[in-house]
Amino acid sequence: ARSVAFEVLSPEQCANLLIALSQVMDDAYRRHPFDQYWVNSLWDRAERLIPPLLSRLEQAGREVVITTMFGEGAAIGWLTKLFRQETFAHGRYGDRARPESDWLFTDAELDHITELILGRYRAMSATDVIRSPNPLSLLFAWRQGGDEQGPRELVEAYTISDEGLVEMLDNLTSTITSSDRGRYHVLKENDLSPFMNFENARQRINNLKEHSDLGERARRLSAAFDTGTEF
Protein backbone atom coordinates (compact mmCIF):
# COMPACT_ATOMS: atom_id res chain seq x y z
CA ALA A 1 0.00 0.00 0.00
CA ARG A 2 2.85 2.37 0.86
CA SER A 3 4.60 1.89 -2.50
CA VAL A 4 1.34 2.43 -4.35
CA ALA A 5 0.79 5.66 -2.43
CA PHE A 6 4.12 7.03 -3.62
CA GLU A 7 3.51 5.97 -7.21
CA VAL A 8 0.75 8.56 -7.54
CA LEU A 9 3.30 11.32 -6.84
CA SER A 10 5.31 12.81 -9.67
CA PRO A 11 9.11 12.89 -9.35
CA GLU A 12 8.88 16.65 -8.87
CA GLN A 13 6.45 16.20 -5.98
CA CYS A 14 8.75 13.60 -4.39
CA ALA A 15 11.71 15.97 -4.70
CA ASN A 16 9.73 18.83 -3.17
CA LEU A 17 8.65 16.65 -0.24
CA LEU A 18 12.24 15.63 0.53
CA ILE A 19 13.47 19.21 0.38
CA ALA A 20 10.55 20.33 2.58
CA LEU A 21 11.47 17.74 5.22
CA SER A 22 15.03 19.06 5.27
CA GLN A 23 13.64 22.53 6.01
CA VAL A 24 11.01 21.90 8.68
CA MET A 25 11.91 18.90 10.85
CA ASP A 26 13.89 20.90 13.44
CA ASP A 27 11.03 23.38 13.81
CA ALA A 28 8.64 20.47 14.29
CA TYR A 29 10.87 19.16 17.09
CA ARG A 30 11.12 22.55 18.79
CA ARG A 31 7.34 22.95 18.81
CA HIS A 32 6.77 19.54 20.39
CA PRO A 33 10.06 18.05 21.70
CA PHE A 34 10.40 14.27 21.84
CA ASP A 35 13.11 11.67 22.35
CA GLN A 36 15.05 12.06 19.11
CA TYR A 37 16.14 8.40 19.14
CA TRP A 38 12.72 6.95 19.88
CA VAL A 39 11.60 4.51 17.20
CA ASN A 40 8.47 5.92 15.54
CA SER A 41 9.21 9.49 16.60
CA LEU A 42 8.34 12.24 14.13
CA TRP A 43 11.98 12.31 12.96
CA ASP A 44 12.02 8.54 12.59
CA ARG A 45 8.81 8.52 10.55
CA ALA A 46 10.18 11.27 8.30
CA GLU A 47 13.37 9.27 7.79
CA ARG A 48 11.36 6.25 6.60
CA LEU A 49 9.91 8.38 3.80
CA ILE A 50 13.34 8.96 2.25
CA PRO A 51 13.88 5.62 0.40
CA PRO A 52 10.49 5.51 -1.37
CA LEU A 53 10.65 9.19 -2.29
CA LEU A 54 14.23 8.95 -3.59
CA SER A 55 13.35 5.81 -5.57
CA ARG A 56 11.00 7.89 -7.73
CA LEU A 57 13.86 10.13 -8.91
CA GLU A 58 16.29 9.67 -11.79
CA GLN A 59 19.99 9.88 -10.91
CA ALA A 60 20.32 13.57 -11.80
CA GLY A 61 17.25 14.36 -9.73
CA ARG A 62 18.62 12.44 -6.74
CA GLU A 63 21.86 14.42 -6.90
CA VAL A 64 20.05 17.76 -6.95
CA VAL A 65 17.77 16.81 -4.06
CA ILE A 66 20.56 15.44 -1.88
CA THR A 67 22.68 18.54 -2.54
CA THR A 68 19.78 20.82 -1.65
CA MET A 69 18.84 18.87 1.46
CA PHE A 70 22.27 18.63 3.03
CA GLY A 71 23.71 21.83 1.61
CA GLU A 72 20.82 24.17 2.36
CA GLY A 73 18.24 22.45 4.60
CA ALA A 74 17.48 24.46 7.73
CA ALA A 75 16.82 21.29 9.77
CA ILE A 76 20.48 20.74 10.64
CA GLY A 77 19.57 18.62 13.67
CA TRP A 78 17.53 16.12 11.66
CA LEU A 79 20.07 16.10 8.85
CA THR A 80 22.81 15.47 11.42
CA LYS A 81 20.91 12.45 12.73
CA LEU A 82 20.66 11.06 9.18
CA PHE A 83 24.35 11.76 8.56
CA ARG A 84 25.49 10.03 11.75
CA GLN A 85 23.33 6.99 11.07
CA GLU A 86 24.67 6.65 7.55
CA THR A 87 28.27 7.13 8.69
CA PHE A 88 27.82 4.14 11.01
CA ALA A 89 25.71 2.12 8.57
CA HIS A 90 28.38 2.38 5.87
CA GLY A 91 31.05 1.30 8.36
CA ARG A 92 32.94 4.59 8.10
CA TYR A 93 32.92 4.96 11.86
CA GLY A 94 32.56 2.15 14.36
CA ASP A 95 32.65 -1.52 13.43
CA ARG A 96 29.02 -2.34 12.75
CA ALA A 97 28.48 -1.72 9.06
CA ARG A 98 24.99 -2.63 7.91
CA PRO A 99 23.97 -4.31 4.63
CA GLU A 100 23.65 -1.97 1.65
CA SER A 101 19.93 -2.70 1.60
CA ASP A 102 19.66 -0.77 4.89
CA TRP A 103 21.46 2.33 3.61
CA LEU A 104 19.54 5.49 2.75
CA PHE A 105 22.26 6.72 0.38
CA THR A 106 24.95 5.16 -1.80
CA ASP A 107 28.64 5.38 -0.93
CA ALA A 108 29.17 8.08 -3.53
CA GLU A 109 26.19 10.03 -2.19
CA LEU A 110 27.54 9.77 1.34
CA ASP A 111 30.89 11.14 0.12
CA HIS A 112 29.03 14.18 -1.20
CA ILE A 113 26.86 14.51 1.91
CA THR A 114 29.96 14.39 4.12
CA GLU A 115 31.60 17.18 2.15
CA LEU A 116 28.47 19.31 2.28
CA ILE A 117 27.64 18.89 5.95
CA LEU A 118 31.21 19.24 7.21
CA GLY A 119 31.36 22.50 5.28
CA ARG A 120 28.25 23.65 7.08
CA TYR A 121 29.57 22.62 10.50
CA ARG A 122 32.79 24.54 9.89
CA ALA A 123 30.78 27.65 9.01
CA MET A 124 28.69 27.48 12.21
CA SER A 125 29.41 29.60 15.25
CA ALA A 126 29.40 28.05 18.72
CA THR A 127 26.06 29.76 19.28
CA ASP A 128 24.68 28.09 16.14
CA VAL A 129 25.80 24.72 17.50
CA ILE A 130 24.31 25.36 20.94
CA ARG A 131 20.98 26.36 19.42
CA SER A 132 20.71 23.17 17.36
CA PRO A 133 18.33 20.48 18.67
CA ASN A 134 21.18 18.21 19.86
CA PRO A 135 24.53 20.03 20.12
CA LEU A 136 26.40 16.98 21.42
CA SER A 137 25.22 14.83 18.51
CA LEU A 138 26.27 17.54 16.05
CA LEU A 139 29.76 17.74 17.56
CA PHE A 140 30.13 13.96 17.35
CA ALA A 141 28.81 13.90 13.78
CA TRP A 142 31.41 16.51 12.85
CA ARG A 143 34.16 14.44 14.47
CA GLN A 144 32.96 11.10 13.08
CA GLY A 145 32.76 12.65 9.63
CA GLY A 146 36.55 12.91 9.62
CA ASP A 147 37.38 16.25 11.30
CA GLU A 148 38.49 15.75 14.89
CA GLN A 149 40.11 19.16 15.34
CA GLY A 150 37.28 21.36 14.07
CA PRO A 151 34.73 20.70 16.82
CA ARG A 152 37.37 20.70 19.56
CA GLU A 153 38.74 24.06 18.43
CA LEU A 154 35.24 25.55 18.34
CA VAL A 155 34.41 24.36 21.86
CA GLU A 156 37.78 25.34 23.33
CA ALA A 157 37.57 28.85 21.88
CA TYR A 158 34.02 29.36 23.21
CA THR A 159 34.83 28.04 26.69
CA ILE A 160 37.80 30.33 27.35
CA SER A 161 35.40 32.60 29.24
CA ASP A 162 33.54 31.36 32.33
CA GLU A 163 30.21 32.39 30.80
CA GLY A 164 31.01 30.42 27.65
CA LEU A 165 31.99 27.35 29.66
CA VAL A 166 28.76 27.38 31.64
CA GLU A 167 26.67 27.96 28.52
CA MET A 168 28.40 25.17 26.60
CA LEU A 169 28.16 22.63 29.42
CA ASP A 170 24.50 23.49 29.98
CA ASN A 171 23.92 22.33 26.41
CA LEU A 172 26.14 19.22 26.46
CA THR A 173 24.42 17.38 29.29
CA SER A 174 22.94 13.95 28.65
CA THR A 175 19.58 12.85 30.05
CA ILE A 176 19.45 9.58 31.98
CA THR A 177 16.27 7.80 33.06
CA SER A 178 16.41 5.27 35.88
CA SER A 179 13.78 3.45 37.93
CA ASP A 180 15.04 4.79 41.26
CA ARG A 181 15.91 8.40 40.35
CA GLY A 182 13.64 9.19 37.44
CA ARG A 183 15.12 11.56 34.84
CA TYR A 184 18.31 13.50 35.51
CA HIS A 185 21.13 15.30 33.71
CA VAL A 186 24.74 14.11 33.68
CA LEU A 187 28.00 15.36 32.19
CA LYS A 188 29.91 12.30 30.98
CA GLU A 189 33.65 12.16 30.48
CA ASN A 190 33.22 10.07 27.32
CA ASP A 191 30.95 12.78 25.88
CA LEU A 192 33.09 15.77 26.78
CA SER A 193 36.71 14.63 26.52
CA PRO A 194 36.79 14.63 22.68
CA PHE A 195 36.01 18.36 22.78
CA MET A 196 37.59 19.76 25.95
CA ASN A 197 39.83 18.95 28.91
CA PHE A 198 37.32 17.18 31.15
CA GLU A 199 39.10 17.58 34.49
CA ASN A 200 39.92 21.21 33.79
CA ALA A 201 36.27 21.93 32.98
CA ARG A 202 35.12 20.17 36.16
CA GLN A 203 37.57 22.16 38.30
CA ARG A 204 36.61 25.47 36.70
CA ILE A 205 32.94 24.76 37.39
CA ASN A 206 33.72 23.89 41.03
CA ASN A 207 35.54 27.21 41.35
CA LEU A 208 32.50 29.06 40.02
CA LYS A 209 30.01 27.71 42.54
CA GLU A 210 30.25 30.88 44.65
CA HIS A 211 30.28 33.22 41.63
CA SER A 212 27.74 36.02 42.00
CA ASP A 213 26.14 35.59 38.58
CA LEU A 214 27.05 32.04 37.54
CA GLY A 215 26.98 30.32 40.93
CA GLU A 216 23.55 28.69 40.70
CA ARG A 217 24.20 27.26 37.25
CA ALA A 218 27.72 26.18 38.28
CA ARG A 219 26.35 24.30 41.30
CA ARG A 220 23.88 22.47 39.10
CA LEU A 221 26.61 21.61 36.59
CA SER A 222 28.96 20.49 39.36
CA ALA A 223 26.30 18.05 40.54
CA ALA A 224 25.86 16.83 36.96
CA PHE A 225 29.60 16.11 36.79
CA ASP A 226 29.47 14.05 39.99
CA THR A 227 26.16 12.25 40.37
CA GLY A 228 23.75 13.90 37.99
CA THR A 229 21.23 16.69 38.48
CA GLU A 230 17.62 15.56 38.85
CA PHE A 231 14.83 17.28 36.93
pLDDT digits (tens, 9 = 90+) for 81-104: 999 999 999 999 988 899 999 999
Q: Give percent of the chain above pLDDT 90.
A: 84
If phi > 0 it is left, if psi is from -120 to 50 it is alpha, else beta; for residue 146 that is: left
In this prediction, residues 26-35 reach a mean pLDDT of 93
Q: Which of 107, 119, 122, 48 is nearest to 81 (CA)?
A: 48
What's the pLDDT tens digit per position in 175-186? 887 777 788 889
Residue 1 has a pLDDT of 42
| Residue 109, pLDDT above cutoff 60 | yes
Which is it for the CA torsion 193, 118, 131, 16, positive or negative? Answer: negative
The CA–CA distances, whole Å, from 44 to 23, 36, 55, 62, 173 equal 16, 8, 18, 21, 23
CA gyration radius for the chain? 20
SS3 103: coil
Residue 229 has a pLDDT of 64
In this prediction, residues 117-137 reach a mean pLDDT of 98
151, HSE (Cβ side, Cα atoms, 13 Å):
27
Q: How far is CA 59 from the centre of its chain?
A: 28
Residue 231 has a pLDDT of 47
Is the pTM of the predicted complex or chain greater than 0.85? yes
